[in-house]
Amino acid sequence: MNNQSELDTFIADKYEPQGPVVLDCQVNNIYYGDFRAVRDTNIPVEKNKVTGFIGPSGCGKSTVLRSMNRMNDLIDSFRFDGQIHYHNQDIYSKKVDAVVVRRYIGMVFQLPNPFSMSIYDNVAFGLRLNRFKGDEEEMVVRALERAAIWNDVKDKLNNSGLSLSGGQQQRLCIARAIATEPDVLLMDEPCSALDPIATRQIEELMIELKQHYSVALVTHNMQQATRVADVTAFMGVDISKGGRTGHLVEMGDTQQIFEDPRQKLTQAYVRGEFS
Amino acid sequence: MNHLDEQVLPPQFDLPSLERNAFEWRALKNTLLTGFVWLLAVIASIPLFSVIYMLVVEGGARLDLEAITALPPAGFEMGGGFGNAIVGTLVMVGIAAAISIPLGTMAAIYLAILDPSSKLATTSRFLAKVLTGFPSILAGVFIYAVLVVTTGTYSAWAGGVALAVLMLPTVTLAAEEAMKQVPQKMKDAAFGMGCTNTQVIMKVVLPTGLPGILTGVILAVAGAAGESAPLLFTALFSNYYMAELAEPTASLSILIYNFSGMPFDNQIELAWAASLVLVMIVLIFNVLARVVGKSKFKD
């Protein structure tokens, strides 16, 4: 971080995906009002893999993740410059409806956020939203099973979703997100509010989930990235004039990023020299 | 044995007394102040309980089937009741609710969710707050000018609209508050599932805020049921059951006002009974508000 001018213009080497890419994220710039939060960040999310986003606080990893299903549209000052291709369609194209995007690209948030309805209704919510015609109950049960929470809740499906413990609530939210069979699951630090046991359960669940879905995972916990992510993107922050702009530093196989990082900044970060 | 006993004995030193001393200054002050606050709470509830006591004693004596179904008696007539006034009050409160609840809820959606910080929102929020302290008789005068003078007759419509004017700010502000209580993370969850703005409001914000909204609505209804001033120049009074909405209509509050000033015991007794009925109506609405105010899904 000593040489500012070098960092200002630094652009990460292109990562060559090894498998089919579901969500090809090419960010030129992301602004909040006048503040440039993220620049030059290309992150392809590969099919049936977990793509981890790591980096220090304020490097824009959550911003990039939330851009991937246009959740940031809800923030007035947000401005996106770039493309995010989902099956060859740019989700930021003027013709695209953000609401439809979010039905295919689901999201799990940092804090568990079940609705104040029964456990069953929470999971069935997305199905009803999409006017799902089929066996709703079967889909709900399957989502709960895949989210590894079926055994905890099978006897109390009519209880409030808010009556569950934090870890259970988060798994309920995952069940809710996958009930509609989305393509991609964006997870924004899904374990940061959970205890170690719940965290381990969610991590095991993420490894299970990638059989069916492609997962993009923001995490502040490097061990979590090594345990769960197949591919890891490391983002850093420029300390340049007038703001702190985050950008991609290095992306590659998780093993390579942690054991043989090419960039000095990555090396320093994975060694725990700053966070 | 002896030397063992000695070994087990604890070391000797003066333990401070942990027992409560009621006459120590701190404890005494605490007791006195607690008693004082308790006394004030009792004093504060004396008016309420004495009003209810008097209503039950004085009004309960005449509260029978005849009283709540028959028509108001004339001057020296015995018996009679105030059935038409009960109907009139319920109908006018119904009209007021039918006007103010949809308007107020939709205004609250705008204030709480769609554009909370816009000029229109800040202005109307301010005006709503001013209107909650609006003297109710002015609502009556206003509707008199707008509806009674233009249509040429006192009517249940005019009474209902006057009550709606009074209910609207209460409903709006209560509903806005209830919707603002819906946590942002729940709205995020709904947007993240691919909900449109409308779906977020209809499926998450309204159901989650419903207990709060209903509480506000029912309290406004209860308040409106007891109003007399706005009905004086709008619905006036009638001695007969209403046949249509466009004619002068009786209400409990005006009947109480009329009868309590009459020099006949029969009428005064009926005024007491009508007061008891009015209080019971308000009480039922309040209890309802508490019951529906309990969310089915608490965390």
pLDDT band at B94 (very low <50, low <70, confident <90, very high): very high
Domain ranges of chain B: 83-293
**CA R_g for chain A:** 19
Q: Which residues of A touch B183 (CB under 8 A)?
A: 113
Nearest CA to CA, how far is B190 from chain A (Å)?
A: 8
> Is residue B215 over pLDDT 90?
no
B136-165: pLDDT as tens digits: 999 999 999 999 999 999 999 999 999 999
Q: How confident is the model at residue A1 (pLDDT cuts 50, 70, 90)?
A: very low
Q: Please report residues of B whose CB lies closer than 8 A to that of A107.
A: 192
Condensed to tens digits (0 to 9), the pLDDT of residues B180-194 reads: 999 888 999 999 888
Residues of chain A with Cβ-Cβ distance to B194 below 8 Å are 99-104, 126, 129-130, 180
Nearest-Cα residue of chain B relative to residue A98: B194
Instruction: Count how many Cα atoms sit within 13 Å of the Cα of residue B103 in the half-sphere of its side chain.
Output: 16
Q: A74–B191: do the CB atoms touch at under 8 Å?
A: yes
Which pLDDT score, from 0 to 100, does residue A124 have? Answer: 94
Mean pLDDT, residues A107-125 taken together: 93
Q: Mean pLDDT across the stretch B50-55?
A: 92
Looking at residue A154, what is its pLDDT?
A: 92
Q: For residue A99, what is the nearest residue in chain B, using CA coordinates?
A: B194
- Residue A160 β-bridge partners: A118
Domains of chain A: 4-270 (3.40.50.300)
pLDDT of A224: 92
Interface with chain B: mutation pick from A68, A101, A115, A125, highest number of B CBs within 10 Å: A115
What gap in Å lies between CA B59 and CA B278, rounded to an integer?
11
CA dihedral over B218, B222, B223, B227, signed as positive or negative: positive
Closest A-chain CA to B210? A116
**B7: closest CA of chain A, how far (Å):** 48
Q: CB B199 to CB A117 under 8 A?
A: no
Inter-chain residue contact B192 with A101, CB threshold 8 Å: no
Residues of A in contact with B188 (CB under 8 A): 71, 74, 109, 113
CB contact under 8 A, B191 and A71: yes
Q: What is the pLDDT of residues A174-229, one digit of tens each?
A: 999 999 888 899 999 999 888 888 889 889 989 988 998 999 999 988 899 999 99
Q: Which fold has domain B83-293?
A: MetI-like fold (1.10.3720)
Residue of B nearest to A76 (CA): B115
CA distance B196 to chain A (A): 6
Mean per-residue pLDDT for A103-111? 90
Cβ contact, residue pair B194, A125, below 8 Å: no
Which of the pair, B204 or B25, is modelled with greater confidence? Answer: B204
Q: A100 contacts in B (CB within 8 Å)?
A: 194
- Residue B103: pLDDT above 90? yes
Asked whether the beta carbons of A91 and A70 are under 8 A apart, the reply is yes
- pLDDT over 60 at B88, yes or no: yes
pLDDT score of A4: 46
pLDDT confidence of A5, banded at 50, 70, 90?
Answer: very low
Q: Is the pLDDT of residue B53 over 80?
A: yes
What pLDDT does A271 receive? 87
Q: How confident is the model at residue B3 (pLDDT cuts 50, 70, 90)?
A: low
ipTM: 0.72
Confidence of residue B120 (pLDDT cuts 50, 70, 90): very high
Q: Which residues contact B79 (CB under 8 A, 6 or more apart)?
A: B66, B70, B73, B266
Residues 6+ apart with CB under 8 A from B43: none
pTM of the predicted model, to two decimals? 0.74
Q: How confident is the model at residue B15 (pLDDT cuts 50, 70, 90)?
A: low
